Amino acid sequence: MARNIGIGIQSFQKIRENHYFYIDKTSFIQEWWEGGDDVTLITRPRRFGKTLTMDMLEQFFSLKYVNRNGLFEGLSIWREEKYRELQGTYPVICLSFAGVKDTNFFDMRKTICQLIADEYARNTFLLEGESLTEQQKDTFRRKRVEMEDVDAVLSLNQLSEYLYRYYGRKVIILLDEYDTPMQEAYVNGFWGEMTVFSENCLIPPLRRIPIWKEL
């Protein structure tokens, strides 16, 4: 039976649950995982499926998708038991910068800080229990849109550390459309400011394997 082709769909879950036509790219999971690289930069032309692949990675590894075996059953990654056991077992931080297209540094910094603050808000359970010290909890609560540079610069590094302390597993960090803010900064004349902010805030020393994608 012929399957519908979901044009422009970037959600792996939507494609699988609706049985849309899908070219199996899950062998990339094994190739990437066994490569052991600390940083992977995926560069491909537009509309090549980078965001869909990133979404696939998140749904394979993220604890949020634990026991979602149905998304991967029948695909190549599901043939080996050791990978079936990996599904849904890692804390994952996933940020997309596709919508960061502000025309001045002040607004762009604010937009990025909003993305970071939203990611912290999704992990407020870390404030419960004793995995974090009181000082770390205070630092956590400072991650707001109006946060100071020192908090923004350390934000991803600290969140990965907090998740590591809570779960006891190193964190996978996925950054999608990383180049979009830089492109807008170049076009609108604040490349220098944005370069410094990005290098300090978005490229921290990470505990697990970040995936960076740019066009």
pLDDT of residue 39: 77
pLDDT, one tens digit per residue, over 40-89 is 777 765 666 688 989 999 999 999 999 898 899 999 999 999 999 999 99
Residue keyed to tokens 């540079």: 149
Residue keyed to tokens 């919508």: 99
Those residues with Cβ within 8 angstroms of residue 137's Cβ, 6 or more apart along the chain or in another chain = 127
pLDDT, one tens digit per residue, over 18-51 is 888 888 999 999 998 988 777 777 776 566 668 8
Q: Two tokens at 154?
A: 């350390």
The 3 state secondary structure assigned to 127-194 is: HCCCCCCHHHHHHHHCCCCCCCHHHHHHHHHHHHHHHHHHHCCCCEEEEECCHHHHHHHHHHCCHHHH
| pLDDT bucket at 203, cuts 50 / 70 / 90 | low
| pLDDT bucket at 2, cuts 50 / 70 / 90 | low
pLDDT, one tens digit per residue, over 135-189 is 999 999 999 999 998 899 889 999 999 999 999 999 999 999 888 999 999 999 9
Q: Two tokens at 164?
A: 């590591």
pLDDT of residue 97: 93
pLDDT surpasses 50 at 212: no
